[in-house]
Structure 1
Amino acid sequence: MLPTVGPYMLRDVFSEALRGGRAPCDPAVWELSRLATAGAWSHKATVGFGPLARALLREAFRWVDRRGDTVVAVSSVAVERSVNAMGVPTRRLGDGGATRLGSLLCSAYTTSTRDFLDKAGQSRFGGAGPDQIFLDPPQAEKFISPKPKAGSRRIESRHPRQR
């Protein structure tokens, strides 16, 4: 999570995704800039996200909700659709279009923490309700490794503060 009152990914690295709009700069707006889970969880996906990704998202939104009220993100259009499919509305920035970043079609958007915390999982597509997207600690420990697997590589950040 990065505050939008300092350097952050959308404004400083992927500004073309703003599509003519202004980058948020508000202490109540936080950027969810990176979220990754193990591939094995994709087989258990519910409306686009597996249980670990859903739990991580919920905790990220809870964290922001204690400090502000809005999350801004730049993601693939598919991820944005998955958020919408969970019953959570998003509002695209700029002219509302999508931008190709490398080979990925992406969008920049905001969503309210309250919308996410109140509506995630209550969509007509079924899935876990908002209080059911947590993992019990013993279940989570099976999937969280204390060290990287052999052969994995670290991805370097392009963000200036993260180098």
Structure 2
Amino acid sequence: MVLLVVDTQDMIVTNELFQYETFVNNIKQLIHLARTKGIEIIYVRHDDGFELTKGVKGFEIFEQFAPMNEEKIFDKHVNSAFRDTGLLEYLRSKNEDTIMITGLQTDYCIDATIKCGFEHGFEIVVPAYCNTTVDNEYMTAEQSYKYYNEKMWNSRYSRCVSFDQACDMF
């Protein structure tokens, strides 16, 4: 199993996120636990080439989740962490079959990454309150979170588990 931390970049880890404090605390705990237990942590950064791009303030990973020197970072240009990033090839070279996915944003990059990971044959685990988003023109952030975590993904594309269950998996 690997812990995948998607798009937790300074510019978008803000108080506007649904359950911001819980999200930050949970991710910090998972990162700490994974490091303690020897679980590989892989980071993904979104580079849209405009606002959120290398060299722009806010592009780097949120300080409280910062990777250690030996931890891998893959940059992506579309919603899925698997498209043209090298992540798929890396995971296959390591014979990984299970990915615990965390990060931003529930209704964009997390959704695409979960579904693409599923299509590539990975077992996907989604810990509760370890992904989040902001309000959009159709749904509140809370509605988006609940729709994806409680209805869309579980038992279709992933196994959605409680935070405690996720910690026990390490």
| Band of TM-score, shorter chain | 0.3 to 0.5
Larger relative strand fraction:
2
The structure with more radius of gyration: 1
TM-score (norm 1): 0.33
TM-score (norm 2): 0.32
